[in-house]
Structure 1
Amino acid sequence: MASLLAAAAASPACAQDDPAAAVSEARLRADVERMVAFGTRHTLSSQTDPERGIGAAIEWGLGQFDEASAACGGCLETLFIEDRVTGNRIPEPVRIRNAVAIQRGTERPNEVVIIQGHIDSRGSDVMDAQVDAPGANDNASGSALTLEAARVLSGHDYPGTIVYALLSGEEQGLYGGNLMAEYAAEQGWTVKAVLNNDVVGGSCGSDGVCDDAHVRVFSEGIRADADDQVRAAMRSRGGGNDSPSRNLSRYLDGLAEGDPQGLDVRQTWRSDRMGRGGDHLPFLDRGFPAIRFSVAIEDYEHQHQDLRTEDGVTYGDTVDEMDFPYLAKVTRLNVRAAEKLAAAPMPPAVTVDGIVRPDVEFTWAPVEGAASYNFYKRRTDAPYWEDEPFLTIRQEDVPEGGVPITMEGRDNGVERPRIVWTHDDITVTVPTLRGDDWIFGLSSVSADGVESPVASAVPGGAFSPLPESTQD
């Protein structure tokens, strides 16, 4: 995938100024310092104090989106998404507000990429809304990244929509994430990817070990919305390592490899850190592809801690413990990912039949904006797709009227695939491949050469919520 992503980066669609190059370390620092200056951003803190608390912080956040929109001639729609909630860690009704900016796509506005981070903070006691809780790394870092992504991407046009969101209520139980995921479902958005950024601004851990060369990307294996019927199909056909989020993680890893000055992605194959969670999880629950960016090594003395010094150890999530060059690199990776994902077509929803036959048959519906499709494979025990596709089919090669044609494959012993176009689907039969021995996937490529993530040809592999019929 790395070579293909490098080619996409050189495509006409990406010939415009590189938005990632405009990411400003100084602006990231200024935004983090401003959020810390609110004293606390605890979800249960004041909603009305103009200087301190979550109300002032989220108003400021929307104001930053408004300024970014003014700079690009009103290209962003800015709004609050809000609700009053009670529940775990919220004993009395509290208003939860997310500050959101929407950059509509020029061709496929319903295809949506979301960049987000939670703006609320906490101290040692998750219910203490009065204590100072600067929340610099957790998670002014992810919020500053989201604001900076909006600033640098909003001056450019993309076929798909990019949404930027500052979420509240994460520390009390992912309330802002649930609110945002529900809003996406209500809007009928086709969510291509959710890039959740939570604790992305530090490079040294509690034990003194430092790593400023990697960022962790967490992705689920078996999708959260899979029911018994889907899981049973996975047992037979595969799918335990092929959720849309897992393939999104592979895609981000390949993208990072194309930037030697940036960060290397450390794919972490679990939905989140051990026993913990973040605002990408509500999206996964609803069947939307979502991953979490987080630092390579966490610092527990400077996360979820009251400001204090004990036995010579300084506690508290403060600005001086952050690494802003590192945060800038994570921001650039998010920006590059968002622009590629917003420019690429949707990954195809592909199925494969290789049961008791000496060939494999792929079927998928044509994808809007796709000029060609790349076929990938990997051995069943291999973690990553082979670097090059074993076959490429151009949309213009697909015949109308259901007339079969033949064409040459690239390599790996693939020859003379048979292609049949029907009114709704494309079918490609590839001889000499044994379905039992491989996991297959398919990506779509725009006319400008921008490639989507690979969608695995397994139950639950499509980049969309599972059909309602499987949830009955």
Structure 2
Amino acid sequence: MPRLSITAGLVAGLFAASSHAAPTAPDVTRHQAQIDKIVVEISPKRIDAYIRKLVSFETRHTMSDTTSDTTGIGAARRWIRSELERCGAGTSLQVSFDSHIAPVSARISRPTEIVNVVATLPGTQDASKDRLYVVTGHYDSRNTDVMDASGKAPGANDDASGTAAVMELACVMAKYKFDATLVFMAVAAEEQGLLGAGHWAKTAREKNLNVAGMFTNDIIGSSRADDGRVDNKQVRLFAQGVPATKEMSETVRQLVATGGENDSISRQLARHVKEQGERYVKGFKVNVIQRHDRYLRGGDHMPFLEQGYAALRFTEPNEDFSHQHQNLRTENGKVYGDLIEFVDVDYTAKVAKVNAAALASLALAPSAPQGVKVRTDKLVNDSTLVWQANPEPDVAGYRIVWRDTTAAGWQGAKFVGNVTEATINMSKDNYFFGVQAVDKDGNVSVASYPAPLR
């Protein structure tokens, strides 16, 4: 076990009675009863009903009918809102529309109102309620022609599956209390250029909202590949490393300078989601893909990434493109189109359970420590990390985590107590480090990567 020395102004004498005494660590491996209950409550039957209702609107194209009560995107968004209001009755869930007018552009032929349906579950801890975790699915749909606003486009998998998962998450989690705030969104106009998510993310940045993490669920409805293979035991989680920008921010520059390309805030969030998702959904793998999205493709997490937020994408392991962005038809005995018959709701429910476990664990845990740095003023083989104290009143202390430079996930951890500095006899030349905050119930924050302290 690595040797540790600990210093901090307020607790300098904590272990004076025994220089070898180790601080008592909360149990970070046990299941949280509240999270177990939430995961169990996620219902494939309800998810199936949500998807079927969304498909019944025939098309949810962004420029489709907004006045009908039975067809088009207007009817769809009004139903989503009413359903969230119904299931959130008697809880703290706050449901509203977030809208703006999109001007004419490559995929918008006339000025069009873009409407997101937003359900917010306010946090209950004063120190955490301004920290937000956002989860989305897009409720618009399309067929082969992205400008076809009247042809049938059921969009069962893309993305009624993700929208249904988000609705189920909101309805189940609204009955519980969390330290941080959860935002559940059915966003619009993904197919027309990520317009709904883009508007919300831009507004969030303008308001300086503390969005500590965002997930989008897009195409999470099928476990069957185009060659017939069934894989219902994993989901892909796309996580950006270094952003592809013309100029680097100072934060990104420090990542690159210290070899931390795999320690971006999105990769740190992905490690947390993988750990918590696999802990609470047994036999199901969260396969972290170290790309921002599928090869040269995109989704609603990208506007959040562009605004500097940590953001991830959930997608099924193997897409079947004959059931995606296709006009409904049968050719040579093969059925094309995004139909409900090709959706595996049990699989979608598993992905929703992973979302639920991750969101709940994030919203119950402290925030990621700020001001984390590693001392570089002396040439020594030990590594000394410093950080700012967390604001949450229930923080029990901090963990230093580490991994080999070739490893994707954390391989070791040491609880160092309620301190703001610790030294470990492992060289910063040979390992990557992170610092996590731990509360008294054993909830663990996302890790923070240390910048150099010269």
Same fold, TM exceeding 0.5? yes
Does the alignment pair 1:362 with 2:385? yes
Does the alignment pair 1:189 with 2:175? no
Give CA-to-partner distance per residue, 1:134-163, whole Å, 9 cap, x none: 000000000000000011100000111111
339 and 39 in structure 1: CA distance in 2 versus 1, 3 angstrom threshold? same
Residue 432 (structure 1) aligns with: 425
Amino acid at match of 1:325: D
Asked if structure 1 preserves the Cα contact closer than 8 Å seen for 2:26 and 2:442, the reply is no
Q: CA deviation at 1:431?
A: 5.2
Aligned partner (choices 393, 405, 415) of residue 380 of structure 1: 405
Q: Which moved more, 1:231-240 or 1:188-197?
A: 231-240
| Aligned equivalents of 1:308, 1:355: Cα separation in 2 | 68
102 and 5 in structure 1: CA distance in 2 versus 1, 3 angstrom threshold? farther
Aligned partner (choices 70, 82, 86) of residue 99 of structure 2: 82
| Aligned equivalents of 2:378, 2:218: Cα separation in 1 | 46
Q: How many residues align?
A: 420
Q: CA deviation at 1:366?
A: 1.1
Q: CA deviation at 1:19?
A: 1.0
For 2:318, what is the secondary structure of its paired residue? coil
Residue 146 (structure 1) aligns with: 166
| Aligned equivalents of 2:91, 2:226: Cα separation in 1 | 44
Aligned partner (choices 307, 321, 324) of residue 300 of structure 1: 321
Give CA-to-partner distance per residue, 1:416-467, whole Å, 9 cap, x none: xxxxxxxxxx333x153322111110111112110112222248xxxxxxxx
Q: CA deviation at 1:392?
A: 1.6
| Aligned equivalents of 2:248, 2:368: Cα separation in 1 | 22
Amino acid at match of 2:99: E
Does the alignment pair 1:165 with 2:185? yes
| Aligned equivalents of 1:171, 1:211: Cα separation in 2 | 26
Residue 411 (structure 1) aligns with: none
**What does 1:30-429 align with in structure 2 at a 5 Å threshold?**
30-70=49-89, 73-86=90-103, 87-107=105-125, 108-223=128-243, 227=248, 229-259=250-280, 261-349=282-370, 350-354=372-376, 356-358=378-380, 359-369=382-392, 370-386=395-411, 388-389=412-413, 391-395=414-418, 398=419, 426-428=420-422
For 2:74, what is the secondary structure of its paired residue? helix
| Aligned equivalents of 2:172, 2:391: Cα separation in 1 | 27
228 and 302 in structure 1: CA distance in 2 versus 1, 3 angstrom threshold? same
Does the alignment pair 1:29 with 2:48? yes
| Aligned equivalents of 1:16, 1:314: Cα separation in 2 | 40
Residue 447 (structure 1) aligns with: 440
| Aligned equivalents of 2:283, 2:118: Cα separation in 1 | 28
Q: CA deviation at 1:234?
A: 2.9
Asked if structure 1 preserves the Cα contact closer than 8 Å seen for 2:398 and 2:438, the reply is yes
Q: CA deviation at 1:186?
A: 3.9
Residue 417 (structure 1) aligns with: none
Amino acid at match of 2:123: G
6 and 153 in structure 1: CA distance in 2 versus 1, 3 angstrom threshold? farther
| Aligned equivalents of 2:208, 2:130: Cα separation in 1 | 8
228 and 256 in structure 1: CA distance in 2 versus 1, 3 angstrom threshold? closer
Asked if structure 2 preserves the Cα contact closer than 8 Å seen for 1:5 and 1:255, the reply is no
Give CA-to-partner distance per residue, 1:377-396, whole Å, 9 cap, x none: 1122222211x31x32222x
Q: CA deviation at 1:361?
A: 2.5
User: Cα RMSD over matched residues?
Assistant: 2.0
Q: CA deviation at 1:230?
A: 4.0
Asked if structure 2 preserves the Cα contact closer than 8 Å seen for 1:136 and 1:319, the reply is yes
| Aligned equivalents of 2:332, 2:193: Cα separation in 1 | 32
Asked if structure 2 preserves the Cα contact closer than 8 Å seen for 1:283 and 1:289, the reply is yes
Give CA-to-partner distance per residue, 1:249-302, whole Å, 9 cap, x none: 111221233246352111111000111100000001111111000001111100
| Aligned equivalents of 2:344, 2:61: Cα separation in 1 | 23
Residue 450 (structure 2) aligns with: 457
Query: What TM-score do you get using the length of structure 2 for normalisation?
Result: 0.88
Amino acid at match of 1:140: A
Q: CA deviation at 1:315?
A: 0.2
Q: Which moved more, 1:181-190 or 1:368-377?
A: 181-190
Q: CA deviation at 1:185?
A: 2.4
Query: What TM-score do you get using the length of structure 1 for normalisation?
Result: 0.85
For 1:97, what is the secondary structure of its paired residue? strand
| Aligned equivalents of 1:325, 1:18: Cα separation in 2 | 18
Q: Runs of 5+ in structure 1 lacking a partner?
A: 399-425, 460-472
Asked if structure 1 preserves the Cα contact closer than 8 Å seen for 2:120 and 2:183, the reply is yes
Q: Runs of 5+ in structure 2 lacking a partner?
A: 1-24
For 2:335, what is the secondary structure of its paired residue? strand
Asked if structure 2 preserves the Cα contact closer than 8 Å seen for 1:38 and 1:53, the reply is yes
Amino acid at match of 1:376: V
Q: Which moved more, 1:133-142 or 1:45-54?
A: 45-54
For 2:330, what is the secondary structure of its paired residue? strand
5 and 382 in structure 1: CA distance in 2 versus 1, 3 angstrom threshold? farther
Give CA-to-partner distance per residue, 1:191-238, whole Å, 9 cap, x none: 121111000110011122221011000000114677254444333212
Asked if structure 2 preserves the Cα contact closer than 8 Å seen for 1:215 and 1:294, the reply is yes
**% same residue:** 36
